[in-house]
Amino acid sequence: MRKALGIALQLLAMVVWVLFIATQLYDPQLEGAGLVIWRVLDPIMVLGVLVAVFVAFDRKRRHDSSAATGLTRDYFEANVILYGGIALLHALLWNWIGFQFSDPATTPLWLWAIIAISLPLLLGPTGRRLIVGSSPA
């Protein structure tokens, strides 16, 4: 299950990355197909970020309960991924809900750009960690 979830997170990261670049080529004003694709992808992105935050929280909880002390790489990675994921989740939910219930022209496009850039940076490594962690070594 963890391996399938990791593959799904990595695929979602790749789709968001490709779509972010491709949208500028075929629908830069987000008036047609690009807007429809992003509207379909938004709830899937929220689910992906929720999974990444849950995985990061579990990793941080396991690290905090271990005997390791001090600033280690694992401690730093666990905290950056957890708190970065929480911040990304807040930005994504705030912008997505505002986009759904208000005028889409009033939503800040720079925030969508930050979300589309940050999401693959969060989901790619999280998916990789799930895949590697589920492999019998």
CA distances from 132 to 47, 51, 61 (A): 21, 16, 19
- Domain positions in the chain are 2-134
Which tens digit of pLDDT belongs to each residue from 18-29? 998 988 787 666
Q: What is the mean pLDDT of the chain?
A: 85
| pLDDT score, position 30 | 65
Backbone angles phi and psi of 55, in degrees to 5: -65, -40
pLDDT digits (tens, 9 = 90+) for 28-64: 666 677 778 888 898 999 999 999 999 999 988 988 8
pLDDT over 60 at 71, yes or no: yes
Report H helices in 66-134.
73-101, 109-134
Residue 7 has pLDDT above 60, yes or no: yes
pTM of the model: 0.85
Confidence (pLDDT) at 137: 44
Number of other residues whose CB lies within 10 A of the CB of residue 59: 19
Residue pair 115/95 in contact (Cβ under 8 Å)? The answer is yes
Q: How far is CA 24 from the centre of its chain?
A: 20
Which of 31, 32, 12, 33 is closest to 115 using CA atoms?
Answer: 12
Question: Is residue 72 scored above 50 in pLDDT?
Answer: yes
Structure tokens at 29: 């004003």
Name the percent of the chain lying above pLDDT 90: 44
pLDDT for the residue 57: 93
Tens-place pLDDT, residues 101-128: 776 666 777 888 899 999 999 999 999 9
